[in-house]
Structure 1
């Protein structure tokens, strides 16, 4: 992605750490949690790779096309899975939006590596994705606010990988990273 190297490295570390945590979450005994964690790990590592500062490595055009193909396949798989689901969850739709955003960013980078949009302003799709991810980040942040605590005698049997607040924090950090990547596009 375009932009200064220091924030780029912070973005790489944030996305890679999130992807690594999501890999650990794949050990969950809950099948839906494992499937969701796998998709989020792919997104985290893909975002980390795309966020590498251009001063360090300038990927060739075919690498951007490979990113577009991988995340295009992810979008198709998400659509296919949601088609057969009894009820499409908002989280499935968010995965679809994330995959579409990654395909879009990879396409833009393949078309014009090393260049900004110039003076043409924000393209319509970039603006729509910025609005979506801004709303997602705000909603995710609100969901992390503590509302009520469990009763003192309530046993807690969840492993640290199954804690919903940690997975929400991961989703929030990836949403913020997606915003940062879209802004620098």
Structure 2
């Protein structure tokens, strides 16, 4: 990422913390046994995608390069194909959002190779960059409104504590802001 070093480090810390939190949500409950223990992965796909995206954003902010384009391009295509799979509309929409995020990271990695000074060139396609900025800006605003609304009933499968849902929403907001900042710094 090009810009002030302190902004890069703060963005990396924010997205790494979000990714690590999502990673901790992947562990199975220690008290679960029987069918609950074997089906712990159900509903964790979003946590896995968010962990990969958060940790990848942190690494990409600190170590920019075109090499990041390949893994996130493949992840984006896999998630895009997964949106066609049958399932709940909310899960499909979440997969589509992560596909857009992974493909946006691919775009940033390929459009901004290391050593490119943003003062001399405007890397990438302005229309695509603007569209992604609009998408992630609106997503961050939407995530902020969801953070401010009550969480509602929390099911036992999702509850890691009373703050689990608001904290997960805060991580989504942080990653939306992180994507917006990375695109803005292009």
TM-score grouping bracket, smaller chain normalisation: 0.7 to 0.9
Q: Name the SS of the counterpart of 1:181 in structure 2.
A: helix
* Aligned CA distance change for structure 1 residues 140 and 24 (closer, same or farther; 3 Å): same
What's the counterpart of residue 22 of structure 1? 22
TM (normalized to structure 1)? 0.81
Q: Is the 8 A contact 2:72 2:103 kept in 1?
A: yes
**Runs (5+) with no aligned partner, structure 1:** none
Residue 50 of structure 2, aligned match among 40, 57, 80: 40
CA deviation after TM superposition for structure 1 residue 82, in Å: 1.6
Name the CA distance, whole Å, in 2 between partners of 1:78 and 1:17.
23
Unaligned 5+ runs, structure 2: 30-39
Q: Distance in 1 between matches of 2:131 and 2:21?
A: 29
Query: How far is 1:175 from its partner?
Result: 0.3
Aligned positions, number? 172
Cα distance in 2 for partners of 1:155, 1:178 equals 30
Instruction: Tell me which of 78, 103, 122 is aligned to 1:100.
Output: 103
- In structure 2, the residue matched to 1:11 is 11
More helix by share: 1
With over 3 angstroms needed to count, the CA separation of the structure-2 counterparts of 1:28 and 1:82, relative to structure 1, is farther
Moved more, 175-184 or 114-123: 114-123
Distance 1:37 1:178 in 2: 17
Tell me if structure 1 keeps the 8 A contact 2:66–2:109.
yes
Tell me the CA shift for residue 27 of structure 1: 1.6
Find the aligned partners of 2:148 and 2:142 in 1 and give their Cα distance: 10
- Could you list the per-position Cα deviations for residues 157-180 of structure 1 after superposition, in whole angstroms to 9, with x for gaps in the alignment? 821399222211111000001111
Report the secondary structure of 2:148's partner residue: coil
Quick check: 1:22–1:37 contact (8 Å CA) kept in 2?
yes
What is the DSSP-based 3-state SS (H/G/I as helix, E as strand, rest coil) of the residue aligned with 1:26? coil
Structure 2 counterpart of 1:80? 81
Residue 50 of structure 1, CA deviation: 1.3
* Partners of 1:24 and 1:161 within 8 A in 2: no
Cα deviations across residues 107-150 of structure 1 (Å, max 9, x unaligned)?
A: 1123x633216476971111000000010000000011134877
Superposed CA deviations along residues 24-46 of structure 1, whole A, max 9, x for unmatched, are 01125643432211111111111
RMSD over aligned CA atoms reads 2.8
CA displacement, residues 4-23 of structure 1 (integer Å, 9 cap, x when unaligned): 01111101110111111011
1:130 aligns with 2:148: no
Q: Secondary structure at the match of 2:117?
A: coil
